[in-house]
Structure 1
Amino acid sequence: MKRNKQWNVSKALALASLYHFLHSAAAACVVPFLTIYFRQLGLTAQFVGIIMGAKCFIFMLCTPFWSYYAGRHNKRRILILGSLLLSVGAGLLFTLIPPIDKEIGYKFCNKSLYIKNSWKQNARPEDKHYIGDVKMNKFAHTILPTVVNAALTSHPRSTLQAEIKENLQVLTTVETAIANRISSLKQSQNTGLSNITHSYVSTPSEDIGSTQTTDDYLQSKWNQLLQIKDSGHVGTMGETANHFPVKEDNKKKNRTSDVYSSSVNSHIMKGDAVLKVGSEDRLEKQRISTKYDHSFKILDNQHQTLVLLLLAVSLWEILASALEWIADDGLYDYLDFVDSVDRYGKQWIWGYLGTAGAALSIGIVVDRLDCFINAYTSRIAVHFYGYAALITLTLLVGVFYPIHTARKNDMINHTVKGLHLLGGDGRAMLYVITVFIMGAIRSTINNFLFWQMQDNGSGEAFMGVALAIGFIAEVLLYLFKDRMLKIFSFSGSVTFGLICLAAQVLYYSFLWSSWAVLPIQILNAFSNGALWWAVWGQANDLATPGIERTLHKIYHILSFGLGASVGSFCSGFIVSSFGIERLYQACSATAMVWLVVFLIAQSKIPRQKRLNYSRLLAADTSDMSDSDDAQDWLVTALKGDFVQK
């Protein structure tokens, strides 16, 4: 006789928890830091919003499709393993996309190093012209290095350092003098040289010393000018110099970058020159390149990078979106098959712990590396390497993941019923709009909070700590979930969650240092955790048997798909036009306005509660009274009546 197969539910749940721990840890290595990666590639906030909005929109379309296809054709394990394997390659594709300008990576990388380390501490020897967020003109790095050396040897080092620290201004570039005077120098090599360079060159007795005459000194400078001109740099420098206006007022100094360069004279000269950053500078470089190279490009470097990232993100999201719902459906059907559904729903805790641990660890590791691992690889690539390693481990666990495919899969019918339930209940529609607004606001936090922290000198270690605090706070509050929902009720928990969310984003708009974000992250327990638990509770009360998880999925898609997509698109344009501070203040105002509307509308809508038949069937008969109302509950359930409260 064939022995019956034994089902080890505890082992299956342990494997499922390990799977969620590793998969969430892998996602935490990359997803929260994606916008930082896009920024270091040189994309503007508007383009970042477009990419993240497209990512969320693809998630909204692909996740239900993969879930339905896997259940319909009994391909859950194959899709999980295939998605994990292909996601490794798709994630590593990001490391092959070159930045628009390598200087941008140094700027944002060294900005945090300047805050936490001493001046010049982690600068590479071959890139000493990048110090903190101070950016040296690339032309000055290649032109007349001997002139800078002469200045450093002729002037006391302490005097130069004091002058740089005191003024910290944009210095005049050497190409200005060369471009404006090179033609005159050709015509008057012997007689006019000293007159032309008098305003740019200090007397040799002051800068070079008594051992060298004025004629010899000027002749050596002339030879250097000829060498530079022969090397082909003068045309570019001359054109570029015309785009550096001098002496901006103090109100515009906060938008300028510090430029250090050598000049024709033997000492370093000071001046205010605006170093254009962002799309204008790149468009200007493209115009100059087209003018001199006589080459035509359909897209400039920034738009080429945007297209490459859109393709990479789309491919990655199409592959990765198959994981979450398919694994969840397989585990639920498995537990339902062995009559242990009551043990379903706790695996998210391990996912949160994995997210917190991975975000903290990867942030600390990356923050301790140099800006570039080698000549071509930025340290941001470590995020994708960590993702690939953890996904590989997840793949090994996925081979043994507990999966069972039910014979009957009515996902489409359940979705139609769930939408009908939500559309036919006024209070449910309030929760639908709430999760949509919450998803839109959350997307702005996920996309640009790290930008705000980076602007205040924060490194990735602080970013990882901030993420870890938020997720751990939600796990700790979960221990008091039932008591909290009983005290505040569903509507009270939503109200308190919206208040905390509004306060949280308003606080983000006033960040003043790298650590200031850490205390407010505790509010994540209420602005995200408590709010979602109230939404799930309302969905469970509204649902008919077998529709609870369908309502959860609809809320999930509305928030993390549609809401996050709209929020990402809008936030990118708002940041480009008004700044991150105004974005978060607008989000705070939106949350408070919707809170007022939510309370007013809820008071006007009559409250209806449908009997939860699955709860009644699962209830212990010993807890039921012998009253007529308790004995007639099945009759009421069969009639499908509503209980007015």
Structure 2
Amino acid sequence: MENCNEKRPVVAAELQTQKETTEESTKSTERNIFKIESDLLIYKLFYFGFGGAIGCVFPFLSVYYKQLGFSPNQIGIISGVRPLIGFMSGPLWGSIADRCRIRKMMMLISTFGWLTFLMGIGFVPPAATTDKNCQLELVFVNSTLGLHNTSSGKDALSSVYKKLSTSEQNKLLEDRGWMFVDSQLIRVFGMVIALVILGEIVQSPLSALSDSGCIEHIGMENVDKYGFQRCWASFGFGLLSLVVGAVINKTRTPVEVCGISVTFSDYHVAFYFFAGCMIIVIISAFMFSFPHEKAAKADNKPKPNIKHTFKLFMTPHYCSWLVCMFVMGMCNGVIWAFLYWHMENLGASQLLIGLSSVVNNIAEIITFFVIFPLIKKVGVMPFMILGILGYIARFCVFAFINNPWFILPVEVLQGFTFAGVWCVLTVYFCNAVPMEMLGTLQGIIHGVYWGLGSGTGSMIGGILVEELGAKNTFWVFAGVSGFNLITFSIVQILAKKPEASKYEELVD
């Protein structure tokens, strides 16, 4: 009895200490949320400009390409080639930047290159519209929809169009290539895909290098602050996509082709806003610092060997994370390439498309704020599972609904499918490599998720949308996400995490 009584004060003291630690952690988190630390202001500014630049253009690229006359398959190719190029070039540039210790120089080159080539895409001269393909398109409509209309002349397609159901009209307008002069349309497609490839080659390391610079500055012991910086990208993305969507919505004008009224918008607006955001990115990029890189140069440390990072992903445990990340990147690529396309086919305005971006970015911001304390309490696996479940739910809703306004509530799940998963990946992998390897590591993570995964998803999505339609494509990827959840969970149970001691830094 006496022993029990002696232990009670000790246990009570331990519980009190744990309580105080938890309270202090909570207070620290609250301070970090509401306090803008001067040394971190530059990262907030960079992420705001970077997210805003993406929000100005990327939500509208698929509908911009559609307006240029590209087919779903062509849009899938463009949307897929860009990240696939990023997958190949991103890790390469990241490893070169680590090896040669030129992260800042690489970052600035990437910034200027992205601005140059993306502006080029926005100002490619479009193909001219024509009424010469009306009869040919009427034959296609008859064969596709099983009609037997034998009318001819300029207005024949218009008379058939008016008799079609809403879904059949949407299917006719999914591919607008018949509205344009064929030779000019081929030229425009070639110019756009060339600019996309060149732009991605130089732009691919930018996001990875900025993340590695931010994490290197705050240190892994303060990694919870990463979320407070990264959320500014979501804030910039949501704000600028809403503003640009509203402005583009004001530029909508009807154009009559073959007697059918088709709405066209002025997407130059998006690229003007993009240039403005890139000025913020360039200014802040000049002020980035990489303290570990500077210290290594000053001390003449041996250059890091990039085999360290690549060796990490050869183990079954980490390889399964890589595969899961790839599949989630595929799902993200399909949504990026065809959700707004699908919404427009359902009758959504550019303002509604902008609102959907705002909703999912508010969800991202909230998740970035609260995710790291929760990771410390429950670990990383619950958030990976929630992320995959979020994709399943989103795809099911996209496939089921007919009113685009119903998409807004489900976009809240973007907080789990992107922000939660991205923070988990950052914490999990950055703890496995030394600071000298962060550029290479982030290049691999960005390359697999945004590059190989997103690119494959966009290309496969383009083929499936053209063959099956957008709704059936979303059902397919709901099933893919379910399979990903099952396989990832099984491998995590069976494959043990390698000991950290096996991956000590390799140097020359």
- Structure 1 position 74, deviation (Å): 5.6
- Structure 1 position 588, deviation (Å): 0.2
Q: Which residue of 1 aligns with 2:121?
A: 94
CA RMSD after TM alignment: 4.3
The alignment status of 1:19 with 2:46, answered yes or no, reads yes
* Residues 107 and 209, structure 2, Cα contact 8 Å, conserved in 1: yes
* Residues 380 and 424, structure 2, Cα contact 8 Å, conserved in 1: yes
Q: Which residue of 2 aligns with 1:618?
A: none
Mapping of residues 222-371 of structure 1, within 5 Å: 244=138, 261=155, 282=178, 300-333=183-216, 346-371=228-253
* Residues 69 and 177, structure 2, Cα contact 8 Å, conserved in 1: no
Rounded to whole Å, the distance in 1 between the matches of 2:321 and 2:497 is: 14
1:574 aligns with one of 464, 469, 483: 464
- Structure 1 position 87, deviation (Å): 3.4
1:51 aligns with one of 78, 102, 125: 78
Change over 3 Å in CA distance of 1:454–1:12 after alignment to 2: same
Mapping of residues 71-150 of structure 1, within 5 Å: 71=98, 75-102=102-129, 138=131
Deviations along 1:600-627, one digit per CA (max 9) or x if unpaired, are 3333x1544636xxxxxxxxxxxxxxxx
Deviations along 1:288-328, one digit per CA (max 9) or x if unpaired, are xxxxxxxxxxxx33332221111111222233324323334
Higher deviation after alignment, 396-405 or 439-448: 396-405
Q: Which residue of 2 aligns with 1:477?
A: 367
Q: What letter corresponds to residue 584 of structure 1 in structure 2? A: F
Change over 3 Å in CA distance of 1:519–1:330 after alignment to 2: closer
Deviations along 1:537-561, one digit per CA (max 9) or x if unpaired, are 44356x2544784545433321111
TM-score w.r.t. structure 2 length? 0.75
* Residues 205 and 443, structure 2, Cα contact 8 Å, conserved in 1: no
Rounded to whole Å, the distance in 1 between the matches of 2:375 and 2:319 is: 20
Q: Which residue of 2 aligns with 1:179?
A: none
Q: Which residue of 2 aligns with 1:392?
A: 279
- Structure 1 position 578, deviation (Å): 0.9
Rounded to whole Å, the distance in 2 between the matches of 1:527 and 1:75 is: 33
Rounded to whole Å, the distance in 1 between the matches of 2:404 and 2:205 is: 36
Mapping of residues 374-453 of structure 1, within 5 Å: 379-404=266-291, 405-406=293-294, 408=296, 413=304, 415-424=306-315, 426-453=316-343
Rounded to whole Å, the distance in 2 between the matches of 1:411 and 1:60 is: 28
Secondary structure in 2 matching 1:350? helix
Q: What letter corresponds to residue 452 of structure 1 in structure 2? A: H
- Structure 1 position 278, deviation (Å): 7.4
* Residues 539 and 548, structure 1, Cα contact 8 Å, conserved in 2: no
* Residues 497 and 526, structure 1, Cα contact 8 Å, conserved in 2: yes
Change over 3 Å in CA distance of 1:244–1:15 after alignment to 2: closer
Rounded to whole Å, the distance in 2 between the matches of 1:551 and 1:596 is: 26
1:30 aligns with one of 52, 57, 66: 57
Higher helix share: 2
Change over 3 Å in CA distance of 1:41–1:537 after alignment to 2: same
Change over 3 Å in CA distance of 1:540–1:591 after alignment to 2: same
Q: Which residue of 2 aligns with 1:528?
A: 418
Deviations along 1:548-587, one digit per CA (max 9) or x if unpaired, are 8454543332111111122122111111111111111000
Rounded to whole Å, the distance in 2 between the matches of 1:272 and 1:638 is: 69
Deviations along 1:118-155, one digit per CA (max 9) or x if unpaired, are xxxxxxxxxxxxxxxxxxxx5xxxxxxxxxxxxxxxxx
- Structure 1 position 61, deviation (Å): 2.4
* Residues 126 and 188, structure 2, Cα contact 8 Å, conserved in 1: yes
Deviations along 1:313-372, one digit per CA (max 9) or x if unpaired, are 122223332432333444455556xx9888556421111111111111111111122439
Rounded to whole Å, the distance in 2 between the matches of 1:590 and 1:318 is: 29
* Residues 248 and 273, structure 1, Cα contact 8 Å, conserved in 2: no
Change over 3 Å in CA distance of 1:571–1:398 after alignment to 2: same
* Residues 245 and 273, structure 1, Cα contact 8 Å, conserved in 2: no
Q: What letter corresponds to residue 29 of structure 1 in structure 2? A: C
* Residues 177 and 185, structure 2, Cα contact 8 Å, conserved in 1: no
Rounded to whole Å, the distance in 2 between the matches of 1:580 and 1:485 is: 35
Deviations along 1:450-499, one digit per CA (max 9) or x if unpaired, are 01100011111111111121121122133432454356543333222212
Change over 3 Å in CA distance of 1:479–1:49 after alignment to 2: same
Change over 3 Å in CA distance of 1:406–1:441 after alignment to 2: same
Rounded to whole Å, the distance in 2 between the matches of 1:538 and 1:479 is: 18
Q: What letter corresponds to residue 115 of structure 2 in structure 1? A: V
Q: Which residue of 2 aligns with 1:457?
A: 347
TM-score w.r.t. structure 1 length? 0.60
* Residues 41 and 98, structure 1, Cα contact 8 Å, conserved in 2: no
* Residues 87 and 316, structure 1, Cα contact 8 Å, conserved in 2: yes
Mapping of residues 630-641 of structure 1, within 5 Å: none
* Residues 244 and 273, structure 1, Cα contact 8 Å, conserved in 2: no
Rounded to whole Å, the distance in 2 between the matches of 1:32 and 1:555 is: 22
Structure 2 unaligned spans of 5+: 1-35, 256-263
Q: What letter corresponds to residue 393 of structure 1 in structure 2? A: I
Secondary structure in 2 matching 1:515? helix
- Structure 1 position 75, deviation (Å): 4.8
Q: Which residue of 1 aligns with 2:19?
A: none
Secondary structure in 2 matching 1:43? coil
Rounded to whole Å, the distance in 1 between the matches of 2:477 and 2:254 is: 36
* Residues 135 and 154, structure 2, Cα contact 8 Å, conserved in 1: no
Change over 3 Å in CA distance of 1:387–1:480 after alignment to 2: closer
Higher deviation after alignment, 442-451 or 408-417: 408-417
Rounded to whole Å, the distance in 2 between the matches of 1:249 and 1:416 is: 56
* Residues 391 and 478, structure 2, Cα contact 8 Å, conserved in 1: yes
Higher deviation after alignment, 346-355 or 268-277: 268-277
* Residues 98 and 436, structure 2, Cα contact 8 Å, conserved in 1: no
Rounded to whole Å, the distance in 2 between the matches of 1:75 and 1:43 is: 39
* Residues 90 and 444, structure 2, Cα contact 8 Å, conserved in 1: no
Change over 3 Å in CA distance of 1:381–1:252 after alignment to 2: farther
- Structure 1 position 510, deviation (Å): 1.9
Q: Which residue of 2 aligns with 1:182?
A: none
Rounded to whole Å, the distance in 1 between the matches of 2:160 and 2:84 is: 50
Secondary structure in 2 matching 1:512? coil
Mapping of residues 546-585 of structure 1, within 5 Å: 546=435, 549=438, 551-585=441-475
Change over 3 Å in CA distance of 1:247–1:548 after alignment to 2: closer
Q: What letter corresponds to residue 272 of structure 2 in structure 1? A: Y
